[in-house]
Chain A
């Protein structure tokens, strides 16, 4: 079966750095997405990786290792507004997105 694992919840301090991991086992791989979802709102796109390596976008970076079935999202200089759930999704061989259950990130002052 297809499976995407993320930690359920993480806590970090304002101004710090946090890494959210995602491991996946899917039938085929056509890219990995990270989305942010604030409570009661829709998911919004953060990043996309299809080749191994690091993609940087301002305070957010995303890393992919296809051989290990592993990705992480790195958030730097954490702000209170970064308190949200972070969703990992893999596009499989049928070009459908398979979603993890999300990681709830709590930022403390």
Chain B
């Protein structure tokens, strides 16, 4: 299916475990983003990528790792999950960060760390 997909949609994991959230887009957008959304906060940028093999930190990168070996995929890994990382994670993509190009969001992954 065309668009942007995320997997899994729901995940429960234990403190200290490593977990990877997947993101896949079919538009060949150059830019991809990972956000977390928590009650009372706006979306907060974790990492972003301008192209394959180019990634950069956002506002809240600590405890997360990303990679982008292919344009269409942008996985996010929590190296050692903590309860504070319980959140809803959204992946997004965009043709460009400039001008009026909006970001398109995936359906989200709801992660619970116990």
A residues within 8 Å of B by Cβ?
Answer: 4, 30-31, 33, 41-45, 48, 50, 87, 89, 91, 95-102
When chains A and B are docked, how far (Å) is the Cα of A87 from the Cα of B41?
A: 11
Instruction: Tell me if A44 and B43 are in contact (CB < 8 A).
Output: no
Given A42-B107, A42-B108, A99-B44 contact (CB < 8 Å): yes
| B23-48 interface (Cβ within 8 A of A) | 40-45, 48
16 contacts between A and B (CB under 8 A): A33-B102, A42-B105, A42-B106, A45-B102, A45-B103, A48-B102, A50-B100, A87-B42, A87-B43, A91-B97, A96-B48, A96-B58, A97-B45, A98-B42, A99-B44, A102-B42
Interface residues on B, range: 20 to 34
When chains A and B are docked, how far (Å) is the Cα of A91 from the Cα of B107?
A: 22
Q: Which residues of B contact A41 (CB under 8 A)?
A: 107-108
